Chains A and B, each alone.
Chain A
Amino acid sequence: DTGVSQNPRHKITKRGQNVTFRCDPISEHNRLYWYRQTLGQGPEFLTYFQNEAQLEKSRLLSDRFSAERPKGSFSTLEIQRTEQGDSAMYLCASSLTSVLAGAGEQYFGPGTRLTVT
């Protein structure tokens, strides 16, 4: 298994443009998370999926943000009408949840660094 992968690794866009990021989790993992990290801070939770169902969204996830996990495998995070404040590292993680293990250990991808000019 190659771990969690994210594409693209870097994205530079102009304010007002839409961007989409992709995350491929570890294949047998049923839970997928999105986080945002700004400079000097720890990652902040955005949303997570259990299989294809989006179960929780943070208040950080404004209506310009949308995430999908259509077949319970890869996920996409789209930001519409980007703003300079959206500049950050967007991290994806996955875990294997079970009744016995609970939420399970999270494994992170390398992140997508977004710069909005």
Chain B
Amino acid sequence: GIQVEQSPPDLILQEGANSTLRCNFSDSVNNLQWFHQNPWGQLINLFYIPSGTKQNGRLSATTVATERYSLLYISSSQTTDSGVYFCAGENYGQNFVFGPGTRLSVLP
């Protein structure tokens, strides 16, 4: 199956700062999602983005499928953005594979 890498593994920001999280895949994917896992363990869907760019409020994501990576942008970060961010992808019928996550801490 595919391998998924995420960087950075940990990120500490001051409230109001911007950040970029990256996800690299070892092979092409036809199904790619970004999630935020809150402190209670709930995985919250952020983006379903096999290719292209999407924006939702302060968050946006870009996937460059031909180069097998995706980026998640967080602007004007808030303390409620803290948690773990996962990307996950599926390679044409294979299992959905998660990356190890980026742990984000936003300080007031």
Contact = CB atoms under 8 A, between A and B. Distances in A.
Interface of A: 33, 37, 41-45, 56, 58, 89, 91, 102-108, 110-111, 113
A33 B96 contact: yes
Interface centre among A37, A89, A106, A107 (most CB of B within 10 A): A106
A43 B98 contact: yes
B96 A106 contact: yes
Given A33-B96, A58-B95, A102-B31, A43 B43 contact: yes
A103 B97 contact: no
A41 B100 contact: yes
A18 to B, nearest CB: 23
A45 B48 contact: no
Given A33-B96, A42-B101, A44-B98, A103 B45 contact: no
B104 interface: no
Nearest to A58: B95
B83 interface: no
B100 A105 contact: no
Contact of A42 (B40, B48, B100): B100
Given A42-B86, A106-B45, 19 more contacts: A37-B41, A41-B101, A42-B98, A42-B99, A42-B100, A43-B88, A44-B98, A45-B95, A45-B97, A91-B43, A103-B30, A103-B93, A106-B88, A107-B45, A108-B35, A108-B42, A110-B40, A110-B41, A113-B41
